Structure 1
Amino acid sequence: MLVGMVVIPTVLSATVGIVALALWREAFDIVFGVLILTFGATAIAGGTVAVSFVRRNVRLAELQADFVANVSHELRTPVAGIRLVAETLEAGRGDDPARLAVLTEMLGDEVRRLEDLVERVLAWRRIDSEATPLAYELVAVDALVREAVAGVVRLPEARDASVAVAIADDLPALFGDHEGLLHAVRNLVHNAVKYGAERGAITVAATREGREIVIRVSDNGPGIAAADLRHIFERFYRGTGGRARVRGTGLGLDIVKSVVEAHDGQVAVESEPGHGATFTIRLPAASESGHDG
């Protein structure tokens, strides 16, 4: 409808303008024809922008609807697990020590899964909100990386994954927001667990390259399709193929990108289908940013 409302009047206006120029007899006809053609060109440009804007908003609305559906599903899973444990205990089937141990472990798993989801959504809102400034301080890279890995390996989905940590000696500190950087690294490790191979091998490495601290997270999973690589850091983007079948909010990599860029850094991904993926964060060392304590 929008296209018709723009194109039809524009074509008619352009036709009038061309006829006026072709049959001109006086200077007024030339001026009139030029004005009509200018109006037509402006209408085309404005219509094109309007159509693009509408399509973008429709796409964003679809992505937001997917986000709500995915968050609802992720909330439903741990809540159902917690309810199952509660009903089992209410029925008096938790008297046996072995059964009670299983129920306790199940309850802990679901609580951690729920806690992780809440933390991810809150992290996104905090980073996305300009009203909440980042709290900059000196951040030790070794402790940051190990804390991020520890926060992931305790999750149920990471139970069968092998996560190796390799941190270079004597790395300078980062000057940044500890919570934001923690969520960025943690999201990359969590993604490696979710999208990597079953019983996958994940490597988290931190080194110094020139004036930068470089953190790499690699997995041996199925990799990322070329079509997804172009959009992988976009908000709410869930990917195609096998990646789309893995439940998630579509916020993780958007959080990573926002945090890294807020620290004057860069994030990139390298991947080929069937050969895993490597995400790389580059951040200026504190000594290079003028904050060496």
Structure 2
Amino acid sequence: MALFLLHVAAGAILLEPAAAIAVAVLAALLIFFLATLEKLGVLFHYHHVAVFGDFEPMDSWVFVLGLPLIYAFIIGCFTALLIFVANEMNRKRDAILALSKALAQRNERLTALDQKRLRTMAVVSHDLKSPIAAVLAYLAALKGGYLGEVTAQQREVVQKSILRLERLGDFIRDVLAWQTLETGELRQNLQPIDLAPILQQSVADYSETAQSRDITLLLDAPESLPLVLAAPMRMAQVFDNLISNAVKYTLSGGRVDVSAAPSADASTLQVRVCDTGVGMSDEEMSHLFEDFYRAPTVRAKFEGTGLGLSVAQQIVLAHRGEIDVTSQPGEGACFTVLLPLLR
């Protein structure tokens, strides 16, 4: 009866299915364990009292009543322990679920804010491009003498204004590319392309700037190259950034060489942009592709935002390619871009 009452009480306490299953499993294990002990003669069932003829009546009743109570006490202790463990597990589970829900809500808010930030950057950058293009066109007309005669001093001022606006345009383009890379839109614009025309255009775009600074800018590449799977505008941006930096950091009388050819095993296309500029140390190269990083040795001498190389690397990596640099202080730098060829 005591054992029955104990189990009724335990059943009333156990409200969780998992705990009820655990108690049932424990009870089965205890029954098997106690039956085994009885079989081995370690414990005696109270029905076995009859075989002991020399038992006194009081001793027999103590044996008959005491042994089930001991069993009930053992089972009760284990039951209480299981109830405690089950309650603790439920409490921790509820806490984890609450924390998970809070983190999910926080993540949704952060995602919404991040998307809003990216949209704002895209709108602002896009709206700035049109007026900059208009001003550049006006300055080009002014420099060319289409609006009247221009003195040498005025032409120099106009040229500086054009260069600054072009840098601003490059920065806006880098910001737009940054936004595109973060939203994953780049993969949607991939197509088989020949990089030869893109390299030719990039070199042509910076030839005038290089010539004005007495820098030799040459392209060594065939008229057509093996196809790669890429976004044309982003590839143009990569090589514009590399060539622009090479021209910027090369002193008057220096040289910038751009070359492109398939690798020896015909698995990748290798594009190199090498200059005879100021070069950089190993410490500077270790931070070169970080956002907005500019080497201390050139920060005061050359203008820039430090975003171009970071964007170039992200674009190349998004195309499953590689970009590397070798350099020595005072001996120039050489950037190598590897892109997988289209199979």
> Which structure would you say has the larger RCO, counting Cα contacts within 8 Å and 6 or more residues apart?
1
| 2:151 matches 1:99 | yes
Q: Which amino acid aligns with 2:282?
A: A
Deviates more, 1:164-173 or 1:231-240: 164-173
1:125 Cα deviation from its structure 2 partner: 2.7
Distance 2:276 2:229 in 1: 31
Report what 2:179 is aligned to: 125
Cα deviations by residue, 1:260-287 (Å, 9 ceiling, x for unpaired): 1111110000011121100000001112
1:117 Cα deviation from its structure 2 partner: 3.4
| 2:208 matches 1:208 | no
**2:320 is paired with a residue of what secondary structure?**
coil
Is the CA contact 1:266–1:283 (under 8 Å) kept in the aligned structure 2?
Answer: yes
Give the counterpart of 1:153 among 188, 203, 207.
Answer: 207
Q: Which amino acid aligns with 1:277?
A: A
| 2:306 matches 1:250 | yes
Q: TM-score, normalised by structure 2?
A: 0.51
Report what 1:66 is aligned to: none
Cα deviations by residue, 1:186-235 (Å, 9 ceiling, x for unpaired): 11101101112234210000011121100000000121111101111111
**1:216 is paired with a residue of what secondary structure?**
strand
User: May I ask how many residue pairs the two structures share in their alignment?
Assistant: 200
| 2:255 matches 1:198 | no
Query: Cα 1:148–1:127, aligned 2, differ >3 Å: closer, same or farther?
Result: farther
Report what 2:196 is aligned to: 142
Greater percentage in helix: 2
Is the CA contact 1:260–1:283 (under 8 Å) kept in the aligned structure 2?
Answer: yes
Is the CA contact 1:265–1:281 (under 8 Å) kept in the aligned structure 2?
Answer: yes
Give the counterpart of 1:180 among 234, 256, 260.
Answer: 234
Query: Cα 1:159–1:103, aligned 2, differ >3 Å: closer, same or farther?
Result: closer
Cα deviations by residue, 1:6-36 (Å, 9 ceiling, x for unpaired): xxxxxxxxxxxxxxxxxxxxxxxxxxxxxxx
**2:309 is paired with a residue of what secondary structure?**
helix
Distance 2:335 2:212 in 1: 18
Query: Cα 1:139–1:257, aligned 2, differ >3 Å: closer, same or farther?
Result: same
**2:278 is paired with a residue of what secondary structure?**
coil
1:119 Cα deviation from its structure 2 partner: 2.4
Distance 1:267 1:95 in 2: 45
| 2:332 matches 1:280 | no
Give the counterpart of 1:163 among 211, 217, 234.
Answer: 217
1:127 Cα deviation from its structure 2 partner: 2.7
Is the CA contact 2:327–2:334 (under 8 Å) kept in the aligned structure 1?
Answer: yes
Query: Cα 1:201–1:186, aligned 2, differ >3 Å: closer, same or farther?
Result: same
Is the CA contact 2:270–2:337 (under 8 Å) kept in the aligned structure 1?
Answer: yes
Distance 2:173 2:209 in 1: 13
Report what 1:48 is aligned to: none
Q: Which amino acid aligns with 1:236?
A: F
Query: Cα 1:243–1:202, aligned 2, differ >3 Å: closer, same or farther?
Result: farther
**1:241 is paired with a residue of what secondary structure?**
helix
Distance 1:154 1:114 in 2: 18
**Aligned CA-pair RMSD:** 3.3
Cα deviations by residue, 1:118-146 (Å, 9 ceiling, x for unpaired): 32332333233335654011111211111
Name stretches of at least 5 consecutive residues in structure 2 with no aligned partner.
1-127
Distance 1:148 1:97 in 2: 30
Runs of 4+ in 1 over 6 A off after TM superposition: none
1:165 Cα deviation from its structure 2 partner: 0.2
Identity of aligned residues (%): 29
Distance 1:274 1:156 in 2: 19
Report what 2:291 is aligned to: 235
Query: Cα 1:177–1:242, aligned 2, differ >3 Å: closer, same or farther?
Result: same
Is the CA contact 2:276–2:333 (under 8 Å) kept in the aligned structure 1?
Answer: yes
Q: Which amino acid aligns with 2:172?
A: V
**2:258 is paired with a residue of what secondary structure?**
strand
**1:196 is paired with a residue of what secondary structure?**
coil
1:178 Cα deviation from its structure 2 partner: 0.8
